[in-house]
Every structure is written in structure tokens, then in C-alpha cells.
């Protein structure tokens, strides 16, 4: 007897919703930690792209997570390339604007501290990507290598250097305070 197609569609929708609930904050955090313009819109775009390929994903939840961050990583690279092509603009520094009011995201980050992510942004691009994929996205060493299209050995090396840099920055912060 063939399975009810409506039940399949319902199950797929439910699975996609669960993936969004679980992964969307991580995707947004990953994009924000790399300074992507309008990270909310890019997050939305990532999940729309994921939905188009959702029926053909192998590997269960790990497969969904790996594909999600593969798409997010590709969008991040695209964003950096687009930014490099754009003419140089003098950025508006909201900190210097007395009319500034904090966004909901800023409030949320301030509520949980916010300094730790600022340290992450001081790492080099590759190290930051590896550490954020491991810490924020929760990917394994192999999955990180797959997303960044690198060998596991090079990821391991970048990870070690990134963590050592963070430790140095943390020590520097302690000295400054």
C-alpha cells in the first residue's frame, strides 16, 4: 500500500520547520560573526535554498546541518566578494550618533555579554570560519572540512591556530582590564 502523500508532505514540512527552529539562530550567528550585511535576509535566503533541496538530502539531521551551513558559507563568500566589488564607502558609525537606539539584536547580545563574539571577529578569516563553524554551527571536524571544501588536516591546523589566537586575545583583555 502506498503511503499517503499528504502525510509525506506534512512530515517534510514538519521536518523543515524543526530544522529552521534548530539551525536558524546558529546560521544568523555565523553570518553576524563574519559581518555579513543584512544577516537576517541572508539567513532567510539560506533556508529558502535549503527548502528547494530538502527532499534530496541524505544523512539525516547531520546531512541537513551540513547542507545548511554549506549554503550559508557559500552566501558568506558571495557577500564578501560583492563587498569587495563595491566602491569604498565611509561607514556610518552608529556608536558616535547620539540619536542611536539599540536594536533588538543588540539588546539580546548585550543581555548575554557580547564581548566574546567581539573577540571572535578579531581572528583572521579562515580561523574565524573554522572556529565559528565548530562552536556556533556545532559541526564536527569532518563536516567543517566538507563545508569549507578543505582537508581535515588543514581544518585541524586552522582550528588550533584560531583557538591559540583566542587564548592570546583573552589574556590581552585580562591585562587591559
Partner 1 sequence: MSDPLDELLAESELHDDLALRALLGDIQREATAVRPMPSAELISLMTPRRVRRPETTRRASGARRAAIITGITLVGVLGLGAGAAAASPEARSMIGAGVAVIAHLFEPAAAVNAPAATEGSTPSPGTVQSPEPSGPATPSPSGDASGADHSAGKGEGAGSQNGASNSGSPGQSGATHGTGTGNQSGTGTGTSTGNQNGTGTGTGTGNQSGHGTGPGPGAGQGTGDPAPTR
Contact set with partner 1 (CB under 8 A): 5-6, 9-10, 13-14, 16-17, 20, 24-30, 32-33, 40, 43-44, 47-48, 51, 104-105, 108-109, 111-117, 119-120, 131-132, 134-136, 138, 141, 156, 159-160, 163-164, 166-167, 170
In 3D, which of 75, 72, 59, 78 has the Cα closest to residue 142? Answer: 59
Q: Is the CB of 129 or the CB of 132 nearer to partner 1? A: 132
Closest approach, Cβ 87 to partner 1, in A, equals 29
Closest approach, Cβ 83 to partner 1, in A, equals 21
Q: Using an 8 Å Cβ cutoff, are 50 and 67 in contact? A: yes
Q: Is the CB of 18 or the CB of 94 nearer to partner 1? A: 18
Alpha-carbon span 31 to 117, nearest angstrom: 12
Rg (alpha carbons) of the chain, rounded to whole number: 19
Burial class of residue 115 (count of CB atoms within 10 Å of its CB; 0-12, 13-18, 19+)? exposed
Amino acid at each position: 500500500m502506498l503511503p499517503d502523500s499528504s502525510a509525506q508532505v506534512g512530515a517534510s514540512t514538519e521536518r523543515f520547520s524543526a530544522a529552521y527552529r534548530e539551525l536558524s539562530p546558529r546560521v544568523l550567528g555565523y553570518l553576524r560573526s563574519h559581518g555579513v550585511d543584512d544577516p537576517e535576509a541572508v539567513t532567510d535566503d539560506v533556508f529558502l535554498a535549503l527548502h528547494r533541496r530538502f527532499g534530496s538530502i541524505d544523512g539525516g539531521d547531520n546531512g541537513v546541518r551540513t547542507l545548511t551551513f554549506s549554503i550559508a558559507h557559500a552566501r558568506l563568500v558571495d557577500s564578501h566578494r560583492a563587498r569587495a566589488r563595491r566602491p569604498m564607502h565611509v561607514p556610518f558609525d552608529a556608536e558616535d550618533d547620539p540619536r542611536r537606539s539599540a536594536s533588538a539584536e543588540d539588546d539580546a547580545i548585550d543581555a548575554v555579554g557580547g564581548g566574546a563574539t567581539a573577540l571572535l571577529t578579531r581572528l583572521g578569516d579562515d580561523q574565524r570560519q573554522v572556529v565559528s563553524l565548530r562552536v556556533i554551527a556545532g559541526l564536527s571536524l569532518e563536516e567543517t572540512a566538507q563545508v569549507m571544501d578543505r582537508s581535515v588536516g588543514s581544518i585541524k591546523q586552522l582550528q588550533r591556530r584560531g583557538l591559540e589566537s583566542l587564548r592570546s586575545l583573552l589574556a590581552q583583555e585580562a591585562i587591559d582590564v
